Amino acid sequence: MIGFTYKKLFIPGPTEVRKEILKEMSKPMIGHRSKDFNKLFDEVVPKVNRLFYTKNKIFLSTSSSTGLMEAAIRNCVKKRCLNLMCGAFSDRWYQITVLNGKETDKLEVTWGRAVKPDMIEEKLNTGLYDSVTLVHNETSTGVMK
């Protein structure tokens, strides 16, 4: 848009939303059990598969990342979880695991440092864990695993 300046926010969100998107969002929503939604969903999923180069099942969610993190903890941790912690977002995994009543242990390093593979291997060799959480790109510190 000519003459319109967006603020540059170097954070994960919220972000500026273009006017044409806001206009589209002002239209009535379609019900998630309607034929229109089913048609839209059936069109979107193959495109997401292509985008991510996968033939695996795609799960779409309208929740925040926290909602998906909680779903993962509730559904994937059977006996004990190892939480790899090196910043605010990976620390959040630990908090969610605890709040959901799951057995968990921390593998924590100083913020700005990476959890090293040998540290993880040592913990996994104990046989205690059926799940591990990690943040691939810890934006709070700039660490990428």
Consecutive 10-residue runs of the chain (145 residues): their mean pLDDT?
62 79 92 94 96 93 90 97 96 97 97 95 98 92 80
**What was the pLDDT predicted at 45?**
95
**What was the pLDDT predicted at 70?**
97
**Contact at 8 Å (CB) between 40 and 32?**
no
- Model confidence, pTM: 0.72
Closest to 99 measured CA to CA, from 79, 80, 73 = 73
Q: What's the Cα-to-Cα distance from 119 to each of 11, 51, 81, 114, 132, rounded to whole Å?
A: 30, 33, 15, 10, 13
**What was the pLDDT predicted at 48?**
96
**What was the pLDDT predicted at 16?**
80
**What was the pLDDT predicted at 143?**
82
Residue type, position 133, single letter: T
Closest to 119 measured CA to CA, from 137, 145, 94, 95 = 145
d(CA 73, CA 145): 20
**What was the pLDDT predicted at 62?**
82
132 exposed, middle or buried (CB, 10 Å; 0-12, 13-18, 19+)?
middle
Q: What's the Cα-to-Cα distance from 144 to each of 5, 111, 139, rounded to whole Å?
A: 31, 12, 8
90 exposed, middle or buried (CB, 10 Å; 0-12, 13-18, 19+)?
buried
**What was the pLDDT predicted at 4?**
57
